[in-house]
Amino acid sequence: MAESLRLDKFLWFARIVKTRALAQQLSEEGRIRIAGRVVDRAHAPVRVGDVLSFAQRGTVRVLRIEALPARRGPPAEARTLYSELPEGPLTSEGGDD
């Protein structure tokens, strides 16, 4: 199995978004962070253990990737690919102020 997967494919395979086009749009607009860093490209690699954060339906979601999928399976299978983390406090680690 591959060690990484494109961000847009992960979002679609994990059923976080309904279409791959929406995943690409979300990624390219800089609305997703991987480990706290803003991502602005759909082909950014994600790996097991990465933490994604993004706004969705009026709330901030924070997900840890638990497994990389080989396909877009049923919702029950997709749910095993990540775990929801509680939203942490917003902190500045310098440089982005």
- 96: nearest Cα among 26, 18, 37: 37
Q: What is the pLDDT of residue 1?
A: 55
Tell whether 94 is covered by a domain. Answer: no
In a domain, 80, yes or no: yes
* Alpha carbon separation from 40 to 12, 25, 87, 93 (Å, rounded): 17, 9, 22, 20
Residue 90 domain-assigned (yes or no)? no
Would you say residue 68 lies in a domain? yes
Q: What is the pLDDT of residues 9-58, one digit of tens each?
A: 999 999 999 999 999 999 999 899 999 999 999 999 999 999 999 988 88
pLDDT band at 81 (very low <50, low <70, confident <90, very high): very high
Using pLDDT thresholds of 50, 70 and 90, give the confidence band for residue 93: very low
Determine the structural domain holding residue 32 and report its residue range. Answer: 5-85
| Domain containing residue 29: CATH number | 3.10.290.10
Q: Tell me, yes or no, whether 91 lies in a domain.
A: no
- What DSSP element (H or E) covers 22? helix 20-28
Higher pLDDT, 6 or 86: 6
Select the more confidently predicted residue: 29 or 90.
29
Amino acid identity for residue 29 in this structure: E
Token code pair at residue 70: 């080989």
Asked if 62 and 51 count as a contact pair (C-beta separation under 8 A), the reply is yes
Residue 10 contacts residue 69 (beta carbons within 8 Å): yes
Q: How many domains does the chain have?
A: 1
Record the pTM.
0.83
For the segment 64-79, the average pLDDT, to the nearest whole number, is 95
